[in-house]
């Protein structure tokens, strides 16, 4: 069967065309004259140029010879010129339907909008029986899509055309070239968000909606409407999930409706004074407070529409932003196209650093001893669009360190950055430590850094690159119960200082990072005195994502030293000025079982 798809280069259209091709359709696409349509590159489709607003023979010629038409094209921008929005969305739809009548098209799938129906709550979400929401009166996009849907229904009711209608909610997913739904994700990632609106909406995965549209075309009832929805989330929950997947801090709270309405009113007033239409105004403020929750129950039950978790939609949206160069995070420019080798990167700070660099355009090589965890971490990075290589190995073995460097050279042809993150934590008094624990901690924490740095040093020097050593506040001053750990971390300071003197004249940046106790993964374990694995027993000073952001900033600014916590900075200062005083405080705190000891040790 041959079909025409209008709006084929948009977010939904690009996914729909691919799904139609996968299921055996021959596809012709209608492209606006001069549109680059990069999302359709490489597809076996027939392209014709045309304008929805042209009521002449061009649209009839476009649909001629097709068995069906998917009318997806529309202006969805709430800030577009209202007159143009009405012209494209309503009159353009009329032109397409008339062309289909003239050409004798067998069936038409019209893509409307979920905004044509009253939303509901999470407990009782809106469905196809709801009326047009009064709050949308006067908004060109919402009203024009509603009127276009009613027009399509009339054509079906009057027997002019076999038309079925779908009404998608807010879309996220791949091939978002403009971006469309991905703009919401982009703004959050680039600008951050401490607080958000108390409202929410339904988020749908674009490939699910594309499949729902195909199924409606094949199985839907003439004149009927199918809501194509995904998951209902508050904005705070949604942005929290985006932050969790990308390592960015999510909003801490929801603002009060009064504050949001006041800001909207002020923005509208300023817009009137300046003659410029603000991105946020009184109308948008009211809409942002709404919880536009919908259900796809009808489409799922009658058509078999799939329901993919919103996390997949978010990952694909981020991937699309990166692929089409729409995402520019802080300090992205120094890392674009660079190659970073990060050890101990299957979880924790190592993984968070790899993710942070990948989102800034770096190619990353991640290493770890656990093949299973490393494979899972690589998959997560690749889902975000990262260019990643992974190497299973033990940094304490020079042969493995050489394999890591060789893998980076083979895959990417260079190494610009080495982040020596792999390490082993331990707890136990020196008198109780087994020799094996002492050996293992030294081999990983110190010798591992030496091995990887040595294996990569020629590429680092050639690239005038960067060597970073992840230490700890335990590398600034000693702590009881962590003697060998402190010794290895302190040694990294000496190593970095010596390498800095040797390599700075050759343009190499050498830095050392003193972490505080960092948020740990649930499965993380540390070595006890007898070599047994035990759970960490210290509260977190900072998150892995926060540590990664500070490391990225340090790399971008080529700083030599980063002490992450206030406690670390104060401890280093007191230790330098009055070491005995600091040692006395630590001993008293430990002897008295002060909560401050566990908190800052």
φ, ψ of residue 291 to 5 degrees: the values are: -105, 95
Residue 361 φ/ψ region, left for φ over 0, alpha for ψ in the -120 to 50 degree band, beta for the rest = left
CA nearest neighbour of 50 among 92, 2, 109, 112:
92
CA dihedral sign, ordered 394, 395, 396, 402: positive
Write the DSSP symbol of residue 553: H
Which residues are CB-contacts of 140 (< 8 A; sequence separation ≥ 6)?
A: 80, 82, 85, 86, 89
Cα gap 555→362, rounded to integer Å: 12
Helix (H, G, I), strand (E, B) or coil at 504: helix
Place of tokens 């709801």: 130
Q: Report the DSSP pairing between strands 231-234 and 200-205.
A: antiparallel
Residues 6+ apart with CB under 8 A from 85: 75, 77, 140, 141, 144
**Prior bond of 179 cis (ω within 30°):** yes
Which residue, chain included where needed, has tokens 């700083």? 559
Residues classed as catalytic: 485
Q: Is 303 left (phi over 0), alpha (psi -120 to 50) or beta?
A: alpha
Alpha carbon 66 to its chain centroid, in Å, reads: 39
Q: How far apart are CA 188 and CA 183, in angstroms?
A: 9
Strand 533-534 with 526-527, pairing:
antiparallel
Partners of residue 29 on adjacent β-strands: 5, 47
3-state secondary structure of 542: strand
Report the C-alpha gap between 82 and 78 in whole angstroms: 9
Q: How far apart are CA 357 and CA 486, in angstroms?
A: 28
DSSP code per residue over 434-498 = -HHHHHHHHIIIIIHHHHHHHHHHHHHHHHT-EEEEEEEGGGTS--TT-HHHHHHHHHHHHHHHH
227 in Cβ contact with 294 (< 8 Å): yes
Q: How far apart are CA 344 and CA 520, in angstroms?
A: 13
C-alpha separations of 266 from 4, 159, 256, 292 in Å: 46, 50, 16, 25
Beta bridge partners of 30: 6, 48
Tell me how far CA of residue 215 lies from CA of 12, 105, 183, 301, in angstroms: 14, 18, 28, 12
**Closest listed residue to residue 481, CA positions, set 542, 547, 526:** 526
């Amino acid at each position: 069967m041959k079909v025409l798809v209008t709006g084929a280069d948009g977010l939904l259209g690009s996914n729909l065309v691919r799904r139609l091709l996968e299921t055996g359709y021959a596809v012709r696409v209608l492209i606006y004259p001069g549109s680059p349509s990069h999302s359709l590159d490489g597809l076996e489709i027939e392209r014709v140029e045309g304008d929805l607003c042209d009521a002449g023979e061009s649209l009839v010629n476009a649909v001629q010879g097709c068995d069906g038409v998917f009318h997806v094209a529309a202006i969805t921008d709430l800030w577009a010129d209202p007159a143009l929005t009405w012209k494209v969305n309503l009159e353009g739809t009329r032109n397409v339907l008339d062309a289909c009548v003239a050409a004798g098209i067998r069936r038409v799938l019209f893509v409307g909008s979920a905004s044509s129906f009253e939303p509901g709550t999470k407990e009782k979400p809106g469905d196809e029986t709801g009326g047009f929401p009064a709050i949308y009166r006067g908004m060109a996009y919402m009203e024009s899509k509603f009127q276009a849907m009613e027009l399509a229904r009339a054509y079906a009711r009057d027997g002019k055309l076999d038309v079925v209608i779908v009404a998608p909610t807010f879309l996220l997913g791949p091939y978002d070239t403009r971006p469309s739904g991905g703009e919401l994700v982009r703004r959050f990632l680039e600008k951050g968000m401490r607080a958000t609106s108390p409202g929410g909406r339904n988020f749908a995965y674009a490939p699910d909606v594309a499949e729902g549209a195909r199924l409606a075309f094949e199985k839907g009832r003439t004149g009927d409407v199918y809501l194509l929805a995904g998951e209902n989330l508050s904005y705070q929950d949604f942005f929290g999930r985006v932050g969790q997947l990308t390592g960015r801090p999510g909003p801490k709270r929801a603002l009060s409706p009064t504050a949001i309405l006041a800001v909207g009113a002020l923005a509208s007033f300023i817009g009137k004074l300046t003659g410029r239409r603000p991105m946020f105004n009184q109308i948008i403020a009211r809409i942002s407070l709404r919880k536009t929750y919908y259900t796809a129950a009808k489409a799922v039950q009658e058509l078999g529409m799939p329901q993919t978790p919103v996390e997949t939609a978010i990952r694909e949206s981020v991937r699309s932003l990166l692929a089409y160069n729409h995402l520019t995070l802080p300090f992205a420019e120094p890392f674009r196209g660079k190659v970073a080798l990060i050890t101990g990167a299957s979880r924790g700070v190592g993984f968070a650093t790899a993710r942070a660099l990948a989102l800034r355009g770096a190619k990353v090589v991640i290493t770890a001893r656990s093949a299973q965890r490393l494979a899972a971490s690589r998959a997560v990075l690749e889902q975000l669009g990262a260019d990643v290589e992974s190497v299973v190995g033990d940094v304490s073995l020079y042969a493995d360190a050489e394999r890591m460097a060789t893998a980076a050279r083979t895959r990417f042809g260079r190494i610009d950055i080495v982040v020596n993150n792999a390490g082993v934590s331990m707890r136990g008094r020196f008198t109780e430590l087994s020799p094996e624990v002492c050996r293992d901690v030294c081999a990983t924490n110190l010798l591992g850094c030496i091995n990887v740095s040595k294996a990569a040093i020629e590429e680092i020097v050639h690239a005038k690159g960067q060597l970073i050593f992840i230490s700890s506040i335990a590398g600034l001053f000693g702590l009881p119960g962590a003697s060998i750990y402190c010794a290895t971390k302190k040694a990294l300071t000496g190593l970095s200082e010596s390498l800095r003197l040797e390599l700075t004249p050759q343009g190499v940046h050498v830095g050392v990072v003193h972490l505080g106790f960092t948020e740990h993964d649930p499965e993380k374990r540390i070595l006890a005195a007898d070599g047994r694995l035990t759970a960490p027993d210290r509260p977190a000073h900072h998150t892995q994502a926060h540590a990664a952001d500070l490391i990225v900033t340090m790399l971008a600014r080529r700083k030599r030293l980063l002490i992450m916590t206030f406690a670390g900075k104060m401890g280093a200062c007191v230790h330098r000025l009055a070491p005995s005083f600091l040692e006395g405080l630590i001993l008293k705190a430990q002897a008295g079982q002060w909560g401050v000891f566990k908190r800052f040790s």
